[in-house]
Structure 1
Amino acid sequence: MRYSSITAFIMVLALAQGVEAAADTEFRKPTAAEEKLLNLPLGLNANFAAIPSDNPITKEKIELGRLLYFDTRLSRNDTIACATCHNPKLGFTDGQPVSLGIGTLKGGRSAPTVINRLFSKAQFWDGRAPSLEEQAKGPITNLIEMGMPSHDVVINKLNDIRGYRDRFNKVFGTVVTLDGVAKAIATFERTVVSGNSAFDRYQDAIEGAITEAQIRGLKIFKEKARCTQCHAGFNLTDEKFHNIGVGWGGHRPDLGLFDETKKLVDMGKFKTPTLRDIADTGPYMHDGRFATLRQVIDFYDRGGDPNPFLDKEIVKLNLTEQEKRDLEVFLHALSGEGWQTKVAPKGFPQ
């Protein structure tokens, strides 16, 4: 499909009624007690954490969330858990271009990592969930993902499990509720963090933290490759949405944020992911089209795929072969620690 045809198709879509705005969520930074529970590694800034005012972090809630996160009983046929697509053994992704849900049904987008979602408000590639709590509710009743016919069905199922009733009563003072499930899972996910990478140690002036090639790569990252136009700050993301040209190769593209806002300015935009642990969380892009970091670098070097809505930040880079190699080796310096301690429970409530 040529750009003129795509643009005409999009203009028709833009006339459609926009989606209802998501409810606002009030966020705050963690208390001293919550900071102790989070135990953030070097390089992370607690002042930028996004914790809903109505969902304080407690030790008991973290553990309840961990149980729910790994429990396949939240799916229709007891085969899919949150951890199926966001697997701690795979950097809290699933290592697939797009995720496979219940009955091996195939989704339309790659599973983004859970790592450092503590510092993020809007969730999903298209930002349709305003918080981790709202995000946690979605996959349960998605017919491709966990397949439950309704939230009531999963809540009744969990309420039939005495161990969960007891834990919910202890944490929330209630029986199992949908809000409680979402709050517990989100609380656990906020503890999935990564810091103390070689890059963090270099930033902290620790001698020998990164190699000479990685130092050269960092300079390219900041300057010629223009990566910090979007991958900025300590979490290496601006938490904004951009059209970088992925999927505009001659067929109908995924329209991304536009499908949620119906605003032309949002056409083909997707959320900037963190680059922390990027070497451990492939494949890359919202559709998982690139298996390697080198493929990603080559994509940006050629200026993405042209389209009428391409962000102005996306330009040809003209990197040399050596610069590409140095940039790639620098990206490996962003692999940190913290999330590796989050493992599945040995047993579940009965």
Structure 2
Amino acid sequence: MCTLLWATGCTRQESADGPPSSTTVAEPDASDKDASAPSETSVSASSDEDAPSVEPGSDTETPAQSSQEKLSSEVTLGDPSLTLGIPGEGPLSTDEIKNWLATEGVHDTLDITLPQGLDQAAQSITGIEENPLTRAKIELGRQLYFDPRLSSDSTISCATCHDPDQGYTARTQFGVGIAGQQGDRNSPVAYNRILSGPQFWDGRAESLEEQAKGPIANPIEMGNEHAVAVETIANIEGYDLQFDAIFGEDSVNIDNIAAAIASFERVIVTGPSPYDYHAAITPFLALEEDDLEEMKMDDPDLYERYEILKAATAANPMSESAVRGQELFFSEKANCTACHAGANFTDEKYHNLGVGMEAEEPDQGRAVVTGEDKDIGAFKTPTVRNVSFSAPYMHDGSQKTLEEVVEWYAKGGHPNPHLSEKIKKLDLTDQDKADLVAFMEALTGPFPEVETGRLPE
């Protein structure tokens, strides 16, 4: 068993064909401060005493350890107990669902903490006051997220275009829906959405709940009608039981379907990356040996955190190239933080980079929503966290690699009347460009392990 917990250590696991996942978590200290660069002026201690630690396949790997044990309402997002589903194998039986719904604590509103790295954006959390998170609602949302029965031909689920094994996106240039139909935009990532208000590349959905309704009725994506999707779900006993327990009797409707899916999406977050460990250990590095000995005597909890961080940093190192890239990323020379700012590395705003503007009829982007000329060709800034898994890039999937993305910015985008004033030609060497890519790759952290197959019969 890995003994260093997710918020402070060694749980980064990466396979050759998918993004890293995490199976252990601890509660880090949360801060209401949002920053675009690491702080070097403060160090805080955290405790691991109440953190769950489980291994895949073990007897303890269950969201509800037993029907008699109350589940904690205090949880750090990324905790696999939120995403591993109702324990067992094969389709979910009604008895399993009834036992799950009777488990003490599954209906309690969760008191959530963001994992290390994202914790500085705690004040940016959205949607949970209007749609409180509970374990039961998250689990219902998990089932719906992976259920193709929401589509008209039972072939397309949310996960088709936002696949955990593909970094919660799809590695195709455009989204592909029913009957192989192709959309006209790249699939945006579905993680760290708890920190985002408006959704889609153009921000046309004001919330995750509104976003979740869109693809179901989109003729290219799921090709269904809301009323038909609702009827399909209502006629599945396992779903009907859960909606009754969570939302009340006769509550299977499109709004509650969307609320459940949004709840699941809000708990999909990126865990700490090599950059986050590097940033957290940095304040300690200025201390002399005598200072560390004094800390060990006067503040053993803080010293323990230092030891854990030191081991975590060693297990998840940043290369020299990535360290140089970090300095560039936060500098005026590269100007990356003009848009990719804050703990989630996005300003959540819309910018015209010139992408696709050479076309005869370019995508109008945000202007379709606002009707304003200034928004023509402007698209929402994506997060750079785990960006190494979300290729191809840009709203039209036109750039296949991070190297191509850096080259695009270096040349100053594509000239057009609506080009953002933040986009200017950059004086970058080949080494600078390689270092920026290395830093973006160092922003890779684990996703929570998720059950994708267990759905109601």
Q: TM-score range by the shorter chain?
A: 0.7 to 0.9
Contact 2:275/2:443 (CA < 8 Å) preserved in 1? yes
Q: CA deviation at 1:34?
A: 6.1
SS of the aligned residue for 1:204 comes to helix
Which string of whole-angstrom CA distances, capped at 9 and with x for unpartnered residues, describes residues 257-302 of structure 1?
Answer: 0011101121111000000000011110000001100000001000
- Could you tell me which of 253, 257, 261 is aligned with 2:370? 261
Between Structure 1 and Structure 2, whose CA radius of gyration is higher? Answer: 2
Amino acid paired to 2:117: G
Distance 1:98 1:34, change over 3 A: farther
| Counterpart Cα distance in 2 of 1:219 and 1:233 | 15
1:219 deviates by 1.2
Asked if 1:54 corresponds to 2:130, the answer is yes
Q: What corresponds to 1:308 in structure 2?
A: 417
What displacement does 1:222 show? 1.4
Candidates 161, 185, 193, aligned match of 2:261: 185
Tell me by how many angstroms 1:342 deviates.
2.2
Q: Residue 157 in 1 paired to residue 232 in 2?
A: yes
Structure 2 counterpart of 1:96? 172
Structure 1: state its 5+ residue gaps. Answer: 1-28
Q: Deviations over 1:310-340 (max 9, x none)?
A: 0011000021011111111111000011x24
Say yes or no: does 1:143 pair with 2:251.
no
Where does residue 217 of structure 1 map in the other structure? Answer: 325
Q: Return the alpha-carbon distance in structure 1 between the equivalents of residues 396 and 384 of structure 2.
A: 17
Task: Spell out, residue by residue over 1:134-165, the C-alpha distance to the aligned partner (whole angstroms, 9 max, x if none).
Answer: 000000000000000x2111101111111110
Match of 1:125 among 201, 206, 215: 201
Conservation of the 8 A alpha-carbon contact between 1:236 and 1:275: yes
What residue number does 1:348 align with? 455
TM superposition score normalised by structure 2: 0.67
Query: Structure 2, unaligned stretches of length 5 or more?
Result: 1-31, 33-71, 77-109, 282-309
1:273-292 matches, within 5 Å, as 273-292=382-401
Say which SS state the counterpart of residue 424 (structure 2) adopts.
Answer: coil
- Structure ranking higher in helix proportion: 1
Q: Does the aligned pair in 2 maintain the 1:192–1:342 contact within 8 Å?
A: no
* 2:117 paired residue number: 43
Cα deviation for residue 203 of structure 1 reads 1.1
1:87 to 159, 163, 174: 163
What secondary structure sits across from 1:334 in the alignment?
Answer: coil
1:169 aligns with 2:239: no
Match of 2:299 in 1: none
Which residue of structure 2 aligns with residue 15 of structure 1?
none
Counterpart of 1:239 in structure 2: which amino acid?
A: E
* Secondary structure of residue in 2 paired with 1:158: helix
Determine the C-alpha separation between the residues in 1 that align with 2:123 and 2:171: 31
**Per-residue CA shift, 1:41-69, capped at 9, x if unaligned?**
21112332112422100000010000000
What are the Cα deviations for residues 14-51 of structure 1, in whole angstroms up to 9, with x where unaligned?
A: xxxxxxxxxxxxxxx9xx94654555321112332112
TM-score (norm 1): 0.87
1:326 corresponds in structure 2 to 435
Contact 1:88 1:340 in 2 (8 A): no
Deviation at residue 86 of structure 1 after TM alignment: 0.2
- For 1:265 and 1:35, locate their aligned partners in 2 and report how far apart those are by CA, in whole Å: 42
Q: Quick check: 1:255–1:268 contact (8 Å CA) kept in 2?
A: yes
CA RMSD of aligned residues (A): 1.6
CA distance in 2, matches of 1:252, 1:298: 24
Cα-to-partner distance string for 1:71-116 (whole Å, 9 max, x where unaligned)? 0000000000000000000000011110110000000100011110
Count of aligned pairs between the two proteins: 317
Structure 1 pair 82/250, CA: closer, same or farther in 2 (3 Å)? closer
Is 1:214–1:330's contact at 8 Å kept on the other side of the alignment? Answer: yes
Identity %: 47
- 2:127–2:207: 8 Å Cα contact kept in structure 1? no
Q: Is the 8 A contact 1:101 1:144 kept in 2?
A: yes
| C-alpha separation in 2, matches of 1:333 and 1:42 | 15
